[in-house]
Amino acid sequence: MIHPVFQPIYCAESGSLVGAEVLARWCDNSQWVCPSDLNQKIQWLDVDQEILRNLLRNVETIKSKYPILFINVSADTLSSPECLFSWTVKVRKLQAQTGIKLCCEVTETVPNDLLKHSWNTLKGMDVLLFMDDYGHENSTFSRLIDYPWDGCKFDMKRLQAGYTEDRCAIRYCLDSGLSVVGEQVENARIALKAMEEGLIWHQGFYYGDAEKAIGVSVEQQGAVAEK
């Protein structure tokens, strides 16, 4: 069974909670299992729908905890008009019932032609739109500058490796007024590096493990791994 867990995102300057990314996890022997750990093909259409159904069942808990929820949309959902319509209906309902801002993360696996085809639908939902995992697969600088994004998420492992392109992309975002998030912030050294690069919003183990899924019994709750 699919459950949402919540990876907090903090402002490193103020220490305040910005929001949380909703991650899909599967419970196996009291441990939360990541998609990469499953020995089966994942039906992302079902994952996208089930995550939203779970969130809608727990509106009161969500709106009392998170200023912004970051949710992912898969290429499979975007490629199916029927599933995309159903997904957008649930997103609008969640936003109306919680009163909080939702941010849709477009992953690196979404092909360019599919993003172009579905962009107006996504933009019309009145959600924030972030490009996820800059530098991986289709999350390129061209994609970053071709669309009016609200923000972009950067992998701190790439920045530590010295990717000049990532620094240029961060500078573009900051100069353009886009929000930027540093992911994989696992310790104080990486947090300092992120701030030096202009990344003030941080996500990673340094700020805490992903929070256990809502609506799950104590017996089912176990350790959680970051995306």
pLDDT in tens, 15-36: 999 999 999 888 766 677 776 6
**Over pLDDT 70: what percentage of the chain?**
89
User: Angle at the Cα of 4 (from 38 to 186), degrees rounded to 5?
Assistant: 80
pTM attached to this predicted model = 0.87
Domain 2-220 has CATH 3.30.2320.30: no
More confident residue, 46 or 226: 46
Assigned token pair, 78:
């975007």
Element holding 135 (H helix, E strand) = none
pLDDT digits (tens, 9 = 90+) for 74-133: 999 999 999 999 999 999 999 999 999 999 999 999 999 999 999 999 999 989 999 999
Contacts of 11 (CB under 8 A, 6+ apart): 17, 18, 200, 201, 202
23 burial via Cβ count (<10 Å: 0-12, 13-18, 19+): buried
| pLDDT band at 41; cut points 50, 70, 90 | confident
